[in-house]
Amino acid sequence: MNLIVDIGNTQTKLAVFEGGKILFRVQVESENIFKKIKEIQKKFKNISKAIVSSVGKTDLNDFESLKKDLDLLILDHETPLPFKNLYRTPKTLGIDRIALVCASVEKYPNKNVLIIDAGTCITYDFINANNEYLGGAISPGLRMRYKAMYNQTAKLPLLLPESSNSLIGDATDQAIHSGAYNGVVFEIDGFIEAYRKKNNDLTVILTGGDAKMLSKQLKSSIFANSNFLLEGLNFILQFNTN
C-alpha cells in the first residue's frame, strides 16, 4: 500500500492507494498532518511506501522521520518522471503540475491532453501524443478573484464563490458572482477551444477544488476527476520504486 501526502497552499490531502486503486482519502489542516498520518498507519498496517508533494510552506525535513517505517520519496525537480519535460525553466515548474501531467501519462498514454486544475490558481498544462510536456498557463482561481475585488476596492463586499446562471446581475452581490464565476467559465471554455483548434483528438481533464462547481456550466466536453493529482503522485511513486 502507498501513502500519498499532497500539501497544498491551503490544505493537505492524504490518501492510501493499493496498486492503482484509491482506498482512503481525507483533507486536513496543515498543522494536523502528522497526527493524521499516525492514525492512517494504524488503520492501514500494510502501508510500506509514501510520497510527499508540497507547494505550501511546510518544512519537508519534518517528514524525514517517516523513513523509519516507510520507503519515502519526497517529490522534487530531480525526481525521475515518465515524460519528456520541455518546460524552459523546469526548476520553476510547480510540483502539483508535474503530478497532474504524470496522471495523464498513466491514464491517457500517447494522447494530446490538456489538464485544467481549478484550485487556488487555475493551471493549464499540455502534454502531446509524443509524451512531451510543453507547458501551459496560470491564472487567478475563483476565490482569488473574489478576494481581489474585495481587497482592491473600497466598497465591494467579500463573498463566498457561488455559481451564476445569469450574465446580468441585478444587484451588486449578483454582479460579483456573475463576473467571477462566468469569467472563469468563459476563460476555461476559451482555452479549451483554442487548444482544440491546434490539436486533434484532445482529451481535457478538469480537476481541483472548484472543478465540480465549474463543470456544470462548461460548454466543452471534459472529464472531471477530483483525485487526478493524487493518482499522479501514486504513479510517480510506483514509477520510482517498482
126 Cβ contact list (under 8 Å, min separation 6): 112, 113, 114, 115, 133, 134, 135, 136, 195, 199
Count, residues in the chain: 242
Nearest Cα neighbor of 218 from 188, 191, 197, 195 is 188
The one-letter amino acid code at 155 reads: K
DSSP, collapsed to helix, strand or coil, labels residue 36 as helix
Under 8 Å between Cβ of 208 and 117:
yes
DSSP, collapsed to helix, strand or coil, labels residue 54 as strand
Does 87 belong to an annotated binding site? yes
Does 169 belong to an annotated binding site? no
Does 189 belong to an annotated binding site? no
Does 92 belong to an annotated binding site? no
Does 59 belong to an annotated binding site? no
Does 207 belong to an annotated binding site? no
Does 123 belong to an annotated binding site? no
171 DSSP assignment: S
The one-letter amino acid code at 44 reads: F
> Which residues, listed in sequence order, are joined to residue 141 by a DSSP beta bridge?
none
The active-site residue out of 76, 96, 173, 189 is 96
Does 173 belong to an annotated binding site? no
The one-letter amino acid code at 15 reads: A
Does 210 belong to an annotated binding site? no
- State yes or no: is 71 an active-site residue: no
> Which residues, listed in sequence order, are joined to residue 49 by a DSSP beta bridge?
2, 71
Does 6 belong to an annotated binding site? yes
Does 115 belong to an annotated binding site? no
Start-to-end CA span in the chain (Å): 13
Does 136 belong to an annotated binding site? no
Annotated binding site for K(+): 117
Annotated binding site for ATP: 6-13, 120
Annotated binding site: 6-13, 87, 94-97, 117, 120, 172
Active-site residue set: 96
